[in-house]
Amino acid sequence: MNTETAKKHPFFIKKSTLKRFLIFFFAAAYAAFIVYALQLQYSLGTGDVGSYLYFFDQFGGTAPELSLRQDGAFRLGIFLLRDVLNLEVLTILACLAFIMSLVIFFLFSVHIRSEKYLIYLFPIITMVFLTPSVQALFSSNIRSGIAFTILMVAFVHCKGLIKYGLLAVASVIHLSMLPLISLHYFYHILNSNFMKTPYLGFLFLLLIGSFVIAFAGSAVHVEAEVSSSFAFNLMIFYITFLTLFINKLAIKNIYAFMSIGLLFIYLSGVIIDVSYSRYIGNAILFYLFFLIKKGELGTIQIFTLGYAPFFILTLFYSVSNQL
């Protein structure tokens, strides 16, 4: 419709406005599902929600003295929200889960290039956001989920001091964001005018850099020993192989680069007996964002077909553990 037609129809809505409204609706629906998942995990006694509530229930009236190290900033923030808003801690955690899952789903969806790409992307978007490790990022690992949401907003929409400030905030909330930030700037170093790196060089340096990050992370911050099964590690190796070889040029994209780097960090952790399973959800989301922004139709189709077995197996394993 042109301007003259729009004037004749007082209830005319621009196509872009309608698109954003629909995206917001589906984002809100996904966020509501995440809140349901959080409530379910709480009732079943799984996930991190129970440990959060146990800690806050120990201090009913006043907040204890906490430093900004470890998860002190997050816990102080929850105490502040509880006192200011006069809400139960579980309600605050549910609201945070709703907000960050809505923001991430909306941020990803608004970058879909066209209706044509939406048709091809819809299956993989659905599978990724329902993948247990991605769900857990919002419904269980709330602190790292908040940090990741701030980090993604900084990467995608911010520049200069605002970007650096948000990255600092994300790191204070959860130190696990430091490897993601390291990979981000490592990509820019390899992709700079001073260092034109070919594909094999990119891959080799990313592998070495990821191992260094994994080893440094184990030295600076004590992580749990690897507890995942051989079958799960084999599935992660399969996903790593899939991201590497369905489109060799993908590694030249910053989000695919970070996704592959996080998968390398996980596999490096298996070698040195340190668990980096927290990064699986981040890695999958980064690769999805690459597909949304730059993925060719053939790449999207092949990755969707290759990802389906991983999604089905991990979902079946997660559901069977809840029963």
DSSP result, 178-236: HHHHHHHHHHHHHTSTT----HHHHHHHHHHHHHHHHHHHHHHSPPPPP---HHHHHHH
pLDDT at 323: 54
Share of the chain above pLDDT 70, in %: 85
pLDDT (mean) for 206-221? 84
pLDDT at 7: 52
Nearest to 239 by CA among 255, 210, 260: 260
Return the residue matching tokens 């907003």: 153
How confident is residue 196, by pLDDT bands cut at 50, 70 and 90? Answer: low
Residues 6+ apart with CB under 8 A from 57: 89
Residues 6+ apart with CB under 8 A from 153: 103, 107, 166
**103-132 exposure pattern, b = at least 16 Cβ within 10 A, e = fewer:** bbbbbbbeebeeeebeebbebbbebbbebb
Please check the confidence at residue 169 and state whether its pLDDT lies above 80: yes
- Please answer whether residues 184 and 155 qualify as being in contact, where contact means their C-beta atoms are separated by less than 8 angstroms: yes
How confident is residue 1, by pLDDT bands cut at 50, 70 and 90? Answer: very low
pLDDT (mean) for 37-62? 77
How confident is residue 190, by pLDDT bands cut at 50, 70 and 90? Answer: confident
pLDDT (mean) for 4-16? 55
pLDDT (mean) for 154-159? 92
Q: Cα(281)–Cα(277) distance, rounded to whole angstroms?
A: 8
pTM reported for the whole predicted model: 0.89
pLDDT at 310: 94
pLDDT (mean) for 254-269? 95
Residue 96, both tokens:
């945070």
Please check the confidence at residue 68 and state whether its pLDDT lies above 70: no
For 66, how many CA atoms within 13 A lie in the half-sphere containing its CB? 19
pLDDT (mean) for 149-164? 94
Please check the confidence at residue 154 and state whether its pLDDT lies above 80: yes
Residues 6+ apart with CB under 8 A from 111: 156, 289, 292, 293
Q: Cα(26)–Cα(28) distance, rounded to whole angstroms?
A: 5
Residue type, 231: A
Share of the chain above pLDDT 90, in %: 50
Q: Cα(39)–Cα(309) distance, rounded to whole angstroms?
A: 28
Chain mean pLDDT for the chain? 85
pLDDT (mean) for 127-151? 93
pLDDT at 74: 79
Q: Cα(10)–Cα(20) distance, rounded to whole angstroms?
A: 20
CA angle 297, 251, 249 (to 5 degrees): 50
Please check the confidence at residue 65 and state whether its pLDDT lies above 70: no
Residue 275, both tokens:
């668990």
- Please answer whether residues 189 and 160 qualify as being in contact, where contact means their C-beta atoms are separated by less than 8 angstroms: no
Residue 76, both tokens:
């102080």
Return the residue matching tokens 């990979």: 183
Question: Cβ of 51: how many Cβ atoms within 10 Å?
Answer: 9
